[in-house]
Structure 1
Amino acid sequence: MAKQNKQPQTLSSVKNASRILKSFSTFEPTKKVSELAESLGLAKSTVSRIMATLASEGFVTKDQETNAYRLGISVLTLGGIVTNDLEIHKEAAPVLSQLVNKTGETAHLAILDDLDTIYIHKEECHHPVRILTHLGRRNPSYCTSSGKVLLAYSEDRTVENVIANGLTAHTKNSITDPDELRQELNTIRNQKYAVSTEELTEGTKSVAAPIRDYTGKVVSAITVVGPIQRMKGYSIPDIAKKVKQAGKEASYRLGYDERYLKNL
């Protein structure tokens, strides 16, 4: 009987450790045991035990002065393995580099994970003033151009899950009305690109387009982002044309051939 009870407890510990690691973000890079316990609804003793184990394996590190934890080097190591192993990353990286040269602004590659978008690759522009972004950062999908592109080509239930989770206003331009979001996604499908103007962060503007795999499924988004004052000097339709072309090129590198699929 003792052996039968051990497996569920082990699985529970793994799940809790996973929840703890996922709770760290760019916005909250450090957390204390008490904060984790409260936000995740776990006992402090449970969190303390898990954090000690994670620290011993290098997944978190503890600041001895503040007693706050942050993610450790082991997370970075595993993240690098995953990123380098992604086919989309390998095929789209040179396309992003070309897009930076054509637009003069930073380019990103993003994927949809649950309700958020995550940057998995970026190519920096050469301007001294640029938008600071972080690989692995999670952003709410409904208020970024890449996220809106990915939602536009997702199943309806994914969009409804995002809406059910709440459309929180991050700036005065954030979409908070469900019907407005649905209409925006419909527009994106028709024009095949998305624009975000200070919807998540003030002072930024971005344009994104879809990337498809060999089956025609949208698996990623390619984005150009820059300071709004500089982006105002560009023709958005012209930027969108370049971003869409980059998306098509990345899709082709992944095996997508629109002409072939139309004849099936």
Structure 2
Amino acid sequence: MTIDEKKRQYSAPALSKGLDILELMAKQSEGLSLKQISDLLGRQKTELFRMLVVLEERGYIQLVPDSDKYVITLKLLGMAHQQPGIKRLSAMADPFMRELVTKIEQSCHLVIERASEGIVIAQKDSPTDQRFGVRVGAKVPLQNSCSGHIILAFADDKNRKVMMDGIPAAKHLPTSKLKTIIERVKQQGYECIESLQVQGVKDIGYPIYNYTGKVVAALIVPYLGHIDHSQSADIDSVKEYLYDISSKLSESLGYLPPTLSDDVKKELRESQKVF
């Protein structure tokens, strides 16, 4: 039996319709009516109506009050955060991120890699009136973002290849350019670039490691400079604070600096609950 034949044999049309609806609505900034969903998916309204009713009953979508339009809820995001690793990482990062934004008066967010994309799993706003933030759940391209450069640079060769293989070939960076980025970031120990998504923002980030020395996240500050230079911390100060907080978060996950002896590392690991 061929792969295509197996796919047809084990297909689940109703499930596919439901997933098509969720994937469509996840990309929309505004609600969609049944007719709009029908037109965009190229399916009959009659075959989608029951799907919408069930998805609404289960809490995955909801009707906008006094409207015929549906919007996706945060239920899927909440389910993702129930994964032990993500839930624990977010919880452990929270006080460190709060400390950071208080010191630098800039926002910050935490990014992990899933399915060859960066996913924002935690975010803290600047305590000031002027702020720029990235919403929790937002997807970030690995190949052209500060967090993506960090995750790719500090991954081992095998994991980096897996991540790159999952990115559509049309979006790949030239091999030479990717190599240059990886070498630069590894040599610096961090990344600092003009945002490739938002004009006027400079992204600064450091890697977060677990007890095995594996990079598990990137902590990012989207730095906003003020025209009157009234910001409380300049870029160099932000780098210092961000390095300090990132190091503390990594250590809380059981990461031990490479300068420690193997015997000391072993003793400390046995006394820690590691991520």
Q: In the superposition, relative to structure 1, how do residues 206 and 179 fare at CA in structure 2: closer, same or farther (>3 Å)?
A: same
Give the Cα–Cα distance (whole angstroms) in 2 for the partners of residues 24 and 248 of structure 1. Answer: 38
Moved more, 210-219 or 112-121: 112-121
Q: 1:197 aligns with which of 187, 194, 198?
A: 194
In the other structure, the counterpart of 1:125 is: 126
What percentage of residue pairs aligned between the two structures are identical?
Answer: 20
Measured after TM superposition, the shift of residue 33 of structure 1 is 5.1
Give the Cα–Cα distance (whole angstroms) in 2 for the partners of residues 238 and 64 of structure 1. Answer: 46
SS of 1:224 mapped into structure 2? strand
What's the Cα RMSD here?
3.5
TM-score, normalised to structure 1, is 0.76
SS of 1:142 mapped into structure 2? coil
Moved more, 237-246 or 89-98: 237-246
Equivalent residues in 2 for 1:25-40, closer than 5 Å:
25=26, 28-32=29-33
Q: In the superposition, relative to structure 1, how do residues 80 and 214 fare at CA in structure 2: closer, same or farther (>3 Å)?
A: closer
In the other structure, the counterpart of 1:95 is: 96
TM-score, normalised to structure 2, is 0.73
Per-residue CA deviations over 1:194-227 (Å, capped at 9, x if unaligned) read 1231311122222111111111111111111232
Task: Return 5+ residue gaps in structure 2 as ranges.
Answer: 1-8, 264-275
Q: In the superposition, relative to structure 1, how do residues 137 and 189 fare at CA in structure 2: closer, same or farther (>3 Å)?
A: same
Give the Cα–Cα distance (whole angstroms) in 1 for the partners of residues 208 and 227 of structure 2. Answer: 26
Moved more, 186-195 or 65-74: 65-74
Q: 2:169 aligns with which of 148, 164, 168?
A: 164
Equivalent residues in 2 for 1:199-218, closer than 5 Å:
199-218=196-215
Q: In the superposition, relative to structure 1, how do residues 261 and 8 fare at CA in structure 2: closer, same or farther (>3 Å)?
A: farther
In the other structure, the counterpart of 2:254 is: 255
Amino acid at match of 1:14: L
Residues 213 and 251, structure 1, Cα contact 8 Å, conserved in 2: yes
Measured after TM superposition, the shift of residue 84 of structure 1 is 9.7
Residues 61 and 71, structure 1, Cα contact 8 Å, conserved in 2: yes
Residues 32 and 70, structure 2, Cα contact 8 Å, conserved in 1: yes
In the other structure, the counterpart of 1:3 is: none
